[in-house]
Amino acid sequence: MEKQEQKATPLIRLDNITRSFSNGDQTLQVLKGIDLTINEGEFVAIIGSSGSGKTTLMNLLGCLDRPSSGDYYFRGQLVNQLTKDELAHLRRDAFGFVFQSYNLLPGTPAVNNVELPAIYAGQPPAIRRTRALELLAKLGLSDRTDHLPGQLSGGQQQRVSIARALMNGGQIILADEPTGALDSKSGIEVMQLLKELSAQGHTLLLITHDPEVAAHADRIIEIRDGEIVSDQKSAAVDNPKARLPLPEAAKEQPLIDIWESTKAAFTALHRNLFRTLLTLLGIVIGVASVIAMLAIGDGAKNEIVERISSLGSNLLLVRPGAPNQRGRWSIATLVPEDVQAINLEVPNLIAAIPELTGTKTIRYGNRDKSTGMNATSASFPLVRQWPVAEGVFFSQEDEDLYATVAVLGKSVADDLFGKQSPLGEYVMAGGTLLQVIGVMSERGASPMGQDQDDVVFIPYTTGSLRIFGQRFLRNVTVAVDDVSQMDLTQDKIFELMLARHGVEDFQIRNMASLIDNVTATQNTFTLLLGSVAAISLLVGGVGVMNIMLVSVNERTREIGIRLATGARTRNILQQFLIEALTISAFGGVLGVVIGLSTAWLVGYLGTAVYFSVFPVVLAFSCAFATGLIFGFLPARKAAHLDPVKALSSE
């Protein structure tokens, strides 16, 4: 009983189907209440003149379009209620299309065109390739499998489209004017193929305006002005035909879908190589700019911070003069007793040292040199973290005895003595003969760009009495032991100095705060550079979106072909997203290479640069995110194209 009911269920049934199209304020009704039943195995020709509605009817029958009203049943199932992806499944599993203009993917070999429906059915590559080759061989194209559509004649292209229609079984073959673009001989051959397919049990729906072509069918339906005016069957229609088995439902295979979408994306990018390279350019410039700018900005920041840190990040500098008072270097407020009091009364100190500085002319033999002279204490190397390279630094005993000894900076030693060792030699400074007992290690430039090695160190007592002739200090330098308690130590020194002097005639500079301020300023500068570069990346992303939108518009027909052969929304979305991500990822890699190379070249030419992983990861991640974000809109537009409109685009 169930088998009889199954036989009684028609393959296709249309009940009062209409289709209207809106054009501004006007509505054009193309189909007007179509009632039609088609059984399995029938060879039906739908004939009518241009504009009669036959192509619109074919689009509805092939689930490429939806009716405006009425009901469409396929094997008893109401098609009107199916989603876009369910319609794609139906086209993939049940229908095969043979178009007048062939609708083969350009730049794609014949065998790959034939494989297309099987890709969306999830068939393994080896199985579908074997079947595609078998179909092409049966259709006499075994020697044309690798030919592109442009290398095939019209008849050969139509055979390829027939093979594609049969790839997933081709239960129902819809042929829209299959001989319209062919010469007479090729047209006869194509019609013979269609008749053979009908004899094998395929249901054929032939759309034509030619009565001679329609005469090959077992049933001829004439449509005029959107209505069926006649429906005639030949006697042969009652002859029994083999029934094709229903295709097995395709299994969902997300990984295969992604892999096939990736291959299609790479094929499309390769086919439009010049446009791909232009799109890459925007991403490459953006990523390279971000990396190079941040490397240069970080390099400048690190160089300045390193120079300041070389003075000691644990230092407090006590200087004469009230806050914001000009000319403070000439103000006599700091005395050696202040240094002694700080050392005795303030906890958490390594040491506090006096510094009395000025510029003097040093003579050795017949060589003179104007250099800085610093009268300080024996704790200077410890406080300033500046070791002696040769000899020794003067001691506390030298300071107590007013010893006439000197320790030279590296630049002074080189200028006066060259390659000769200065140890034990005597130099003249301000009429005082000083014996050289040591040479400091090389220090380099100060944060202000001055040569820190252009200096001579002498005991404070000697400098105060014999060289400068004054007791007042240029500054007091304090080295803090526990940096975490630096602010508290600064407050203690402030209270002590205020108690000793009675007024605030001094200033205390915290080197750690200075480094923090400089770092914050440089971070702002680096952020500014990075923002400018990020704008380049944003512009590159907009370029990706524009190019992808152009690509969607240019490839609308290709998208229509894929939709007609069973591609679902996600298949199209994946393909175009992968194209955008591929461009962005590859552009990101090139940008990283170029950006690092540019930064290296800048560093090689003498500008400070600093390489770190974060800017590279940031720039590449932004490039990838750019492809995802800016590629989504074009990909979504492509995925939601209407199959009929896509196929009809030029």
> For residue 106, what pLDDT is reported?
85
Within 10 A of 28 (CB to CB), how many other CB atoms are there? 10
CB-count burial class (<10 Å; 0-12, 13-18, 19+) for 457: buried
Query: How many angstroms separate the CA atoms of 212 and 216, rounded?
Result: 7
Tokens 């390099």 — which residue? 299
> For residue 328, what pLDDT is reported?
46
Residues 6+ apart with CB under 8 A from 520: none
Amino acid at 313: S
Query: How many angstroms separate the CA atoms of 268 and 647, rounded?
Result: 18
Q: Which of 305, 302, 467, 457 is nearest to 387 (CA)?
A: 457
> For residue 312, what pLDDT is reported?
60
Q: Name the pairing type of β-strands 43-47 and 203-208.
A: parallel
Q: What is the pLDDT of residues 490-501, one digit of tens each?
A: 899 999 999 999
Query: How many angstroms separate the CA atoms of 396 and 403, rounded?
Result: 10
Within 10 A of 633 (CB to CB), how many other CB atoms are there? 15
Q: What is the CB-side half-sphere exposure of residue 552 using CA atoms within 13 A? A: 23
φ, ψ of residue 74 in degrees (nearest 5): -120, 115
C-alpha dist (Å) from residue 310 to 85, 305, 384, 609: 68, 8, 8, 18
> For residue 518, what pLDDT is reported?
57
DSSP string for residues in 276-318: HHHHHHHHHHHHHHHHHHHHHHHHHHHHHHHHHHHT-TTEEEE
Chain-centre distance for alpha carbon 643: 31
Q: What is the pLDDT of residues 151-206, one digit of tens each?
A: 999 889 988 999 999 898 888 999 988 887 778 888 888 888 888 888 888 899 99
Q: At 233, is the secondary structure helix, strand, or coil?
A: strand
Long-range contacts at 488-495 (CB < 8 A, ≥ 24 apart)? 488/348, 489/316, 489/346, 489/347, 489/348, 489/349, 490/316, 492/346, 492/347, 493/316, 493/318, 493/342, 493/346
* Two tokens, residue 318: 């006590």
| Ordered structural domains, the chain, with CATH | 2-251 (3.40.50.300), 260-305+517-648 (no CATH), 332-504 (no CATH)
Kind and range of the H or E run holding 562: helix 556-564
Q: Which of 215, 217, 205, 220 is nearest to 96 (CA)?
A: 205
CB-count burial class (<10 Å; 0-12, 13-18, 19+) for 8: exposed
Strand partners, 351: 479
> For residue 606, what pLDDT is reported?
78
CB of 168 closer than 8 Å to CB of 91: no
Query: How many angstroms separate the CA atoms of 250 and 78, rounded?
Result: 21
Kind and range of the H or E run holding 363: strand 349-364
3-class SS string, 499-543: HHHCCCCEEEEEHHHHHHHHHHHHHHHHHHHHHHHHHHHHHHHHH
Tokens 């499309």 — which residue? 268
> For residue 261, what pLDDT is reported?
73
Which residues of the chain, if any, have pLDDT below 50?
Answer: 1-6, 237, 240, 327-329
List helix spans (H) across 380-501: 380-384, 396-400, 410-417, 460-462, 486-501
Query: How many angstroms separate the CA atoms of 300 and 306, rounded?
Result: 10
CB of 623 closer than 8 Å to CB of 587: yes
User: Angle 556-564/84-94 helices, nearest 10 degrees?
Assistant: 70
